[in-house]
Each structure stands twice: as structure tokens, then as C-alpha cells.
Structure 1
């Protein structure tokens, strides 16, 4: 018979749970205390005939004592432990980490799927499998679930939070969630299961993945340079998506803890400070079995649940593969209100779709959309390379299927980009696009800086750029999707200054280990770009970590990479020019051109005029501009100074400094002044503002560019 934990530690914990001493057990068994002590310390084990007496003393069955894969049922009952208020009177009115994200199932999908990718078991070469299950409970099913989570114990705390709802944001969300459950008689559960992942290993309190997720904030234990997470914030999306602030967890471990691996269960509740029956509570609470080692056995810890309990909590997993199931209780999707109703959706009326943030059909659709958009590359294989990820989404109501399980297919969600990546894996790329369906590949350099602010370059990493024609199902066209080792799309950006008449395209940039683990400086590029990602992991630019570990100007290396990528894309998608003679003779015969007399050039200095401007916000938050200047005919062209300012409603416009100002065509830059080549009629220059001179965040401003004569005063 397969056994779990060693007998001694298991028996010691059962005695604590039952509130018995070794002497009391020895007396019930008619043995000496020394005999029981020998079992506890592992010096001996009880005879088979004694096992039955031990089971009776502990109030359990003989099989439980033999297998020791779960605790006895005679232990302390499941309960909620609410953290007491701080002795100094401090109050936490919500988990600050949760405010970093919106209550948005698409944000949830991005963060949870990224975490599952980071926890994938790599030894077997198989992908991590992630399933999202939306489950609406009503009637008896809802009542049974509330009984399972001991709702009557929780209700006084929710009532206390509702009383302060008018003065506190988290309180208003929770109050709305409770009212929706009672008024509409429903509760939406959103479960995220991953398989072939590490699971929440480690002790309840000591350093480990379990404590990092369940006990702590802002702790990330991600290993490997290709990992997506680094802030320890992504887990907060689980609680942010719950209108009740409640998440239940069931984990199957890849490494045994206390001698076992299956059905390690705990719950965590996030509420603001509250007062119940005159007693203050700090905020979080945990659902589990009281820890006999804690003062008064009040603090709860995880427990090894039986199959019946797991089923009542809607946490049953499909297999014994390692991984974790997170059950978000009271899931809602506030951000879906901004999206409206998709065309052709005959299941939801416009009125219902625009108001109901708990509609499981809409949430199903938005999950599929987000997963296909952000993780298409991780789900793509080819050329003997397996995908890293498999994802599916389903929707149920009281256990009955509402929307069939849908496997997210990257070739359906992102056909062009999937085709491009697969062609790269299979070695089927070309140097130039000459036919439909081709994929062009080119390397672009990323010059990596030295750490610690030292001048110079560590080395040049060659990223891989893939370009192919766009299809209608791709979404926004003419974009570059950038990704690194875990193959989650990090950055999505358009390409400026495309030639007129460019055919629609899609581009993919593979950087770091995504370009191949054998690519020069792949790991160093991973480390550099990971430090350049904000908590949302949706761009590369200036961050505090990048500044501290490299330098305040290190982000410019990323801007240089972006410029190289955009130049390469423009070159690859440009239509070949016709020869000078092609069609020229027929055109000349068809047209009559009358020549005008040449205008007399004015004498004296002439003032160049700003004629065209393209401006975008860079990854570091700076304004990036490309400007065209028209120059009248004249004997002398006045040098001009470009001035960048922020547009304001009243008062003087704040002036921004230039971090970069370079000539592109028809001019040169000397000490911030544009000097124009004699005889030219048009010039182009490019610039980037210094982010340290911005008084406010760039995304909240508008840019004004002027050309001033003289010194620009």
C-alpha cells in the first residue's frame, strides 16, 4: 500500500490537532509513554495490530493511519482566521498591490498565464496546460457552496465592510459584490487550473512558493532569466478580479511536503480594515485548519483535503499532474463595460451586455481574445519545437455546459504572426518578400550596456525580425509584436513613416532566448529587458531597476533597437521602384507639360518653416519626433533652434530638454542648432526629449514644437 508522510511526524501533528499528549495516547493504548515517544522520533513503528487502536484513538479509519496522505478528521475543524487589528491603531484599507491592476479578466488572463508559463516543468519537454472555467452558481448549488466556505462566519465581516462602503473604494466593490449575489441569486466562480507546473511548494510560513503567493506581498521567486514575472504583483490580479476579495487554492505539488503532494488547500480573503463586535481586524483572512503551534491555535494553515471537501469547494482537479487551481469567488469584469457588444452576438442584448459585468458568455469571449492576443507565440510550435503552452476556456452554470470548452488556437487568433513564427522554426524564411505567404527574416542589433553605469558596451545581441503579409483576422495591422524567452507578447507598436501604398503587414521581434538560446548574449539580453519591464510587462523602457542596475540612460539602448527594427521593417515592406524608363515614354506622349518661368530668388536671409511633424511616446516615456522643414529660395538660410514645449491651458508652456537631436537629411546639428545645406529646399531632423525634464507624465500631455531663429530664446 502506498504511504505518504513518515509515521512519526504525521502522528505528532495528529496529536496536536486532536489536543492530545503522548502520555494520553499511551494511556488509551495501554502502552508506555516511551513506546509512543519512539514512534514520534522514528526509532520504531507500531505493530499492525496496534495501528487499529491508534486509528480508534484518533477517531479515524485504519486506512488513514496506514497511508498517511491526509490528516485525521478528529483534528481541529476548518475555520477562518482574521488578522487582528494593529496594536498601534494603523489601518490598511485594502491591498495596495491589487490597485496596480483593473478588475479585468483580460488582465487576469495575461498575469495568470504568464505565471503558469514561468512555473512550467521543463524536464519532460511538455507544454504547461492552462484551463479557465467560468461557473455560475444559482439556487441550491449556490447555497451548498456558501455552506462549504462557512459563509455564516464571513457574513459579519462583509456587513462591517458594507457599513464603510461610502467612504472607501474596496468597501464599495465588496458591497456591490454581496448585493449582486443576494439580489440576483447568483455567484460567478472563475477557476484557473494549470498542469505540468511546479505547484505551491514549500512550508506554510518559511521561504517558498506557497508562502510567496499565500502569505506575502511583493515577493517574486521566479527563477531563470526568461521568466516573465519579477515584481510579485501579478498574483494580486486574482483578488482584484474577485468582487468579494476571496480566492480558494488547491495545489498538487511537484515536490512532496509533509510526505504528500495532492490536495493542499487554503483560502485567502482580502478585505479592508473593519470592526466586528467591537474587535478591529487588520484586513486579510485565511481559510484552513488551525495551526496547533500558533498561540491559542488561532492562525490557520493549509490542510490536506479529502476528495469530498475539494468537490464541495469546486476545486477538483482533472488529474494528479502537478500544478495549482485558483478559484476566484465572485468574479467580475468591470473593464468589459468599455468594450460594448461584439457584432453578431445574438446571445446578449446590447442593454444586458453593456451593464452586466458578470456575464459568463462575455467573459468567455474576452478570455479567448486576450489569450490569443498575448500568448499566440507560446502556443506555436514547428520544426521539431513544441509549444510552451496549451490553453482552453469553458463556461458552466450549476455544472451544466453553457459554452463548450474552446481550445485557443493561435493560427485562428493570430494567423499571420503564427505563420511567421512557424516559418522561422522550420527554416522557411526568405530575405525579401516577393510572393504572397512568404516570411522575411532579418537580424537587428541590440547593443547591451555594461552594468553599474560603466561606459561602453557589453556585447551585441542579434534579435530576429520576422515580417509577413497581414490577414483580416490579425486585428490592428502594421504592428510589431516583441517578445522574449517565455514567448509572451510584451510590446505592441506601430511602425512610423511607412512608405505610401505599403501593403498591410505584421511583424514579430524575437529577442533574448526567443531568438534562440545559442544567440550571442541571449541571457544577458533577457536580464536587461526583464529589468526594463514595468509591473504590467507590456513595454520596454526606463524603470527604476534599469536605472539602478545599469544607468539612467540605459533605456536609450532600447530606443536604438526600436529605430533599427522600424528601419528594417520599412526596408522589407517597401515596394520595389520602377526603372526610370519603365512607362516613361508612354506617359510623356499622354501629357503636355507647360513650363513656368523660374521665380526670381529673393535676396537676403530666408526663414525655414516647419512643415511636417510625426510624434510618438517612446518606451521610456519620452517624446520622439521626426520633423520636416521647408526652406524658401534665398541667398542665405537662417539657422534655427528646435524648441519642444508642453501645451498648457494657461501660463507659459514648460520647455523640455533634448536627450537626442540628430540630422537626417539636408542639415546638420551643432550645439542644438540646425544649420541647413546651401541650395536645398527640404530638410529632416529627428529628436527625443529628456524624460527628466518632463514636469508631468507624458501620456497626459500634448507636445508643441517650434523653430526659432538665433539662439532660440
Structure 2
């Protein structure tokens, strides 16, 4: 049951909204100004008979005055406030933060679900519940929604943007979104609700979660090292997924603001610079109630909406449990066109707003990235519950489905539950077992100091893919999923150089508070690895944050952890060697091989050559390579620089940056250069390219790798 606001603050706000002073209200009530002042300061409350007079003065019903669960509808109406153009002529042609992400519902799912995990109310001991609802509106349902968001007031701004669509990216996206709505007579809404979360607390303008999400860019107020986000970029995925650049918000707060907690509503629109009726506008706009404290009451702020209003805006929440609902208006899924789906390809379906495909891709991404957060066992509760559904004009199209980690990621879920329940083993002796092994992460001293801050013991879990069905659901075999405190999968990597005949397996690495909050150096590991994550939170590597807080070589500690993990996995999954009297060994002992005379060792430097290359495309779109190097005999071996390029028909080959270079055998990697110990004849190294340096997607390109002397120029 919603609790009404205290009378004094509520009355003070209603006077602002209606433009009345305390003295004017006192005159209408035929009372003294001191009496009204006493109500507002909380020294007294009016009698029931006076409540009726106050209701008439505020042009509302007496029930609203008694309950005070909403503002009166008198005074300044809900409207759109568009930020005026800059006096110096500057132009913002789009939200730069949104360009960090594709219009991809899977990216949206990853970022929003991570945010909900970070905002989970831990004190309740319950998981945060997140629901994704796709809703297609047509006909009268579409007309009613457009009326609710004051579409006629917005249309001139969209028309102005469409006129400049040929000259900049955001304009083209918005123009296509508006045309789709009118030509196909539909609009796709994608709503993300979370429950048992903190909600958008704080003032409209001052520091707080509300202002960080609604008013500001690149601000993150995540608390604790276990939080997933740190760049303040994740919220931009909401607007990036909207072809109209429009997101509406309804938040139930975990702590009161202005004496209220329920139905705090606002909308934000992201458009590029535009000119409408001779007046210029800088970019963003807000949907809310005019703030009487701003100049000419122009700026729109959040308001406490009534139930009918949130229903018309498709923002009704299922309960009064704290959390936030984000409504992406005009949702699209451009990346869905590139998925490997033969059925869609055969049908020639290029609809970026197909709610069936979007539903399927949401389920896939949530199960892949958050299976661990949804897994419990041994007294440890899941951190997360996720549901997905699809509707059309209020009717169910896809029944609500709760994501089950044991269905989406069966082998990994079995491994994590075994760890929670204490049923892991040291060695494989039969199918279906889960092996646990401690692997060290040596943490560097902050500020570039020499030595180690301490060693955190991460946990490696390995299990087999027991059946063909499990292998299909698990995805690519022989992979390691790495995660930390919030249990979102951060890094996915294939174990290289596995012994021939290795049975398919899956592995999980728990680091930091994912092991246990009380594990030595768990919080330090969380802090270190969080700083090593790029904005996409899909890898651990050298970042600017890692360089500034630790050192330019801090990534070597992460590489060392990767090496420890890969070595441990290879040892655990290797099949026992045959005895010398069995198979090939017995055959070889019966053969006589004539030995060649030793070749004369040349003097002077020798240049290594690339002798073999295996390449594949990783889940993040990066090139992953394993390279074999052949080295002639010689006293001195020239250091070499691996260079990755894209093959083109003409002109210079575009060069790609390395996100990671790892020495596997017979070499060392130092600042991007391979160095070889004297006498080495063969070496092996691995690398993955930096996706941000790709001029085109890896799936549309061919890779060339060379070894060069000097600086690799």
C-alpha cells in the first residue's frame, strides 16, 4: 500500500505548481498566513473541514488532499522541454556515448541486466528480478500511445532532423524510425523492469542516481568493487536501441524523495542539433512537469504520476517493490540481421523490428551472459531472476519465460552448483564430475610500485559436456567463462593447444568475490579486474584505468592468470599416456632410423619465420590466432614483431591493434615484441585483435599476419 506524503512538503509543492503564494491561499481560505505557514512547516495540520476548502482552492478532489499519493492536476501541465541551442553556435549531432554501442538487443540485455545486478538490494537477501517485455503497437493502441507522449508536439523536431538525415548518422537512424512507424503502422516498445533494486533515488539535479541516469553523461555511481559498470556508458544502450532516441522512465524508490516513493516518471529524448520555427535546439529534451523554480518554468523535471497516466504510457509496474522501469520507444535490433540464422536468411527477412527474433535473441544473450548470477546451491541463493515475454496490442504473443540456467548453460551450471554444494573432486574418474583447482592471481602494488600486493586464489571448475544435447546448448566446446563478484560472464576464451582426442569440456573461473567475499584479497582482485575491463565489460586487459592506477605492465598479471588456467585445464583433461610397450611406442622401438649428420651451425643473427597459423573469430568479433614460428640454427635470434593486417585488393593493408599477445612456448612477449632464448628452434604464440581497431567486422574480412623486424613498421 502506498504511503502518502507528509502534508507540509506536499502542500508547498502544490502551491508552486499552481503558482500560488501562502498569502493567496490564506486569503482564499479566509485564514491567516501564519496558519498556512504552520501547515507547511509541520507544526500543525488542517481540520477535515478545511481540507475540503484546500481541495477547492487547488482545483482537485478532497481525496487527493487526504491521501497525498499524487500531485494535483492543476497548474503547470506535463510537457516537453527541449534544451536551447548554444549561444556560441556549437552543435551536438548526437549522444557520443551511444556511439559506443550497436543497436543490439543483446548488448542492451547485457548492460541493463548488469545495472540491475549492481543495484540489487542486498539487505533483503533476495535476488533482483528483471523482466523484458517486447510490445508491438498498431492501430488505436499506437494512436493512444502517441497522444500520451504528446507526439504532435514532438513531430516538428523529428521533421527537422529528417531534413538533415543525409548528412549525419543519428539523423538517418531517426528518419528511418519515423518512416517505419508511419509506413508500416506500428511501433515496438521494449520495456525493462527490475524489482528489489534501489530505484532512481536522489534529487532531479543534484548528485544522485536519478541525475546520473537522466541528466548526465558518463557518470557512474556504482558502489563497491563488485559492481559491473564503471564508465557510466551502459545507460546509453537504452537510447542506442531506440530508433526514435526516446526512453520513458517510471521508478519506485527504495528511499523517499519529497516524501514519496511510487511512480516517479520522466522521459528523455536524444536528438541531434536542429532548428524548428527559427529557433535552434542543442539536442536532448525531457518529458515532465515544468519546474517553477527554473527561469520561466521552462525546464521539465520528474513528476509523481497517477495510475491512469502510467497506464497510458505503458509504464504500470506489477507491485510497489522498489526498482525502475525503462521503456525504449521504437526499439530496433540492427545486429539481429547479422546472426547466423538460416531460416531468416532463406526467407529474406530483413526486419530489424521483428519481435519474435528479438525475443529469441534476448533469451540467448541473457542465458549466455548471466547463467552464473541465476545459479544457486549449497545455501547460496541466486542473485538474479530474469523473465522475457512478447505482446501485440495487449495480447500475449510469446508466453512469459523465466530463463533457466540449467537449460541455457547445462554444463557450466552443473559445475557452479557442485562448487556451491561442496561436491567437486580433484581428478576426473567418471563422467559428469566437476574438478576444482585453485589458480593464483598475483596482484600488483598500486602506483607502479615493484613487488606484489598479495596473491588471490581464484577457483577453476572443469566439467565434461556429458551429452550431445548439452554440447549444443553450451555453445562452443572447450571454453573458459571467467566472472567476478556480480557473476556476469566477463571473458570467454577457448583453451589452446589441447591434447589430441580431448573430450569436449566446459570450464569456469571464479575470481574475487565470486569465490567468496571472505577469500583473502577478494576485494582487491575485484578492484583490479574491474579496472581492467573495457566499456563493454567483455575482457580483462590493459586499459587506461589500469595504467593510471597500477602500471603500463599490469596486464601481465592477468596474462599470468590466463596461463595458469590454461595449463591447469590441459593437465586436468589430458588422457593418461600409454606405456612404452603399447601402440606407437612399441612400433617405434622396433624400427631403425638412420640419423642424419648434424648440420653446421651458421654464425650471425638468424631471422625467425612464420611456419603455421590458425585463426578464428571470437564471440566479441575479434580475430584470435595461434601462430607457429620456425627458427633457423644460429647463435643469435632476431626479435620479431607480429603484425596483423586486413587483406585488401588494392592499396595498403589496414593494420589492426593487438588486444592481447601471449607467449605459449619457446618465446617471451615484451611490449609487443617476440624474444627467443638462444638455441630455440620452434616457438608458439597466441593473440587476439582489438575490435575497436577493425575498420570492418571480422566476418567481412580476411586476416594477414606477418613477422617483422625492428618496430614492425
Query: Using a 3 Å threshold, how does the CA distance of structure 1 residues 190 and 223 change in structure 2: closer, same or farther?
Result: same
Q: Which residue number in structure 1 is paired with residue 92 of structure 2?
A: 92
Q: Deviations over 1:549-570 (max 9, x none)?
A: 1111111111111111111111
Q: Deviations over 1:153-199 (max 9, x none)?
A: 00111111111111111011001000000000000000000000000
Q: Which residue number in structure 1 is paired with residue 251 of structure 2?
A: 251
Deviation, structure 1 residue 629 = 3.8
Q: Deviations over 1:219-266 (max 9, x none)?
A: 100001100010111000000000000000000110011111111111
**C-alpha distance in 2 between matches for 1:128 and 1:652:** 48
Deviation, structure 1 residue 29 = 0.9
**C-alpha distance in 2 between matches for 1:662 and 1:357:** 42
Q: Which residue number in structure 2 is paired with residue 675 of structure 1?
A: 678
Q: Which residue number in structure 1 is paired with residue 707 of structure 2?
A: 705
Q: Which residue number in structure 2 is paired with residue 415 of structure 1?
A: 410
- 2:124 is paired with a residue of what secondary structure? coil
Q: Which residue number in structure 2 is paired with residue 276 of structure 1?
A: 276
8 Å CA contact retained: 1:610, 1:706: no
Q: Which residue number in structure 2 is paired with residue 53 of structure 1?
A: 53
8 Å CA contact retained: 1:317, 1:325: yes
**C-alpha distance in 1 between matches for 2:8 and 2:518:** 49
Q: Which residue number in structure 1 is paired with residue 468 of structure 2?
A: none
8 Å CA contact retained: 1:217, 1:232: yes
Q: Which residue number in structure 2 is paired with residue 595 of structure 1?
A: 592
Q: Which residue number in structure 2 is paired with residue 646 of structure 1?
A: 643
Match of 1:372 among 364, 367, 375: 367
**C-alpha distance in 2 between matches for 1:688 and 1:641:** 20
Deviation, structure 1 residue 666 = 11
Q: Which residue number in structure 2 is paired with residue 227 of structure 1?
A: 227
8 Å CA contact retained: 1:417, 1:508: yes
Q: Which residue number in structure 2 is paired with residue 561 of structure 1?
A: 561
Deviation, structure 1 residue 668 = 14
Query: Using a 3 Å threshold, how does the CA distance of structure 1 residues 53 and 517 change in structure 2: closer, same or farther?
Result: same
Query: Using a 3 Å threshold, how does the CA distance of structure 1 residues 2 and 49 change in structure 2: closer, same or farther?
Result: farther
Q: Which residue number in structure 1 is paired with residue 472 of structure 2?
A: 472
Deviation, structure 1 residue 614 = 5.7
**C-alpha distance in 2 between matches for 1:400 and 1:186:** 15
Query: Using a 3 Å threshold, how does the CA distance of structure 1 residues 21 and 94 change in structure 2: closer, same or farther?
Result: same
8 Å CA contact retained: 1:225, 1:526: yes
Query: Using a 3 Å threshold, how does the CA distance of structure 1 residues 630 and 272 change in structure 2: closer, same or farther?
Result: closer
Q: Deviations over 1:552-610 (max 9, x none)?
A: 1111111111111111111111111122234579x65xx99663544344446387975
8 Å CA contact retained: 1:646, 1:653: no
**C-alpha distance in 2 between matches for 1:362 and 1:505:** 30
8 Å CA contact retained: 1:645, 1:703: yes
- 1:490 is paired with a residue of what secondary structure? strand
Instruction: Find the structure with the greater CA-based Rg.
Output: 1
Alignment of 1:548-587 (within 5 A): 548-582=548-582
**C-alpha distance in 2 between matches for 1:53 and 1:29:** 6
Name whichever of 643-652 and 69-78 sits farther off.
643-652
- Structure 2 unaligned residues grouped into runs of 5+: 466-470
8 Å CA contact retained: 1:668, 1:676: no
**C-alpha distance in 2 between matches for 1:170 and 1:360:** 23
Query: Using a 3 Å threshold, how does the CA distance of structure 1 residues 479 and 266 change in structure 2: closer, same or farther?
Result: same
Deviation, structure 1 residue 340 = 4.7
- Structure 1 unaligned residues grouped into runs of 5+: none
Q: Which residue number in structure 2 is paired with residue 506 of structure 1?
A: 506
Q: Which residue number in structure 1 is paired with residue 176 of structure 2?
A: 176
Q: Which residue number in structure 2 is paired with residue 80 of structure 1?
A: 80
Match of 2:358 among 348, 359, 363: 363
Deviation, structure 1 residue 350 = 3.8
8 Å CA contact retained: 2:644, 2:656: no
TM, length-normalised to structure 2: 0.90
Q: Which residue number in structure 2 is paired with residue 463 of structure 1?
A: 458
**C-alpha distance in 2 between matches for 1:400 and 1:661:** 53
Q: Which residue number in structure 2 is paired with residue 395 of structure 1?
A: 390
8 Å CA contact retained: 1:668, 1:675: no
Deviation, structure 1 residue 16 = 1.3
Q: Which residue number in structure 2 is paired with residue 44 of structure 1?
A: 44
Q: Which residue number in structure 2 is paired with residue 351 of structure 1?
A: 347
**C-alpha distance in 2 between matches for 1:189 and 1:370:** 19
- 1:187 is paired with a residue of what secondary structure? strand
Deviation, structure 1 residue 43 = 2.4
- 1:396 is paired with a residue of what secondary structure? strand
Q: Which residue number in structure 2 is paired with residue 18 of structure 1?
A: 18
Name whichever of 467-476 and 38-47 sits farther off.
38-47
8 Å CA contact retained: 2:662, 2:669: no
8 Å CA contact retained: 2:610, 2:627: no
- 1:536 is paired with a residue of what secondary structure? coil
Name whichever of 397-406 and 32-41 sits farther off.
32-41
**C-alpha distance in 1 between matches for 2:3 and 2:191:** 30
**C-alpha distance in 2 between matches for 1:414 and 1:78:** 46
Q: Which residue number in structure 2 is paired with residue 105 of structure 1?
A: 105
Q: Which residue number in structure 2 is paired with residue 208 of structure 1?
A: 208
Q: Between Structure 1 and Structure 2, how many residues are aligned?
A: 691
TM, length-normalised to structure 1: 0.90
**C-alpha distance in 1 between matches for 2:655 and 2:403:** 49
**C-alpha distance in 2 between matches for 1:7 and 1:690:** 61
**C-alpha distance in 1 between matches for 2:601 and 2:91:** 73
8 Å CA contact retained: 1:623, 1:698: no
Q: Which residue number in structure 2 is paired with residue 440 of structure 1?
A: 435
8 Å CA contact retained: 1:610, 1:707: no
- 1:205 is paired with a residue of what secondary structure? coil
- Whether 1:384 aligns to 2:367 is no
- 1:293 is paired with a residue of what secondary structure? coil
Q: Deviations over 1:589-637 (max 9, x none)?
A: xx99663544344446387975745688999x999976454767xxxx5
Q: Which residue number in structure 2 is paired with residue 605 of structure 1?
A: 602
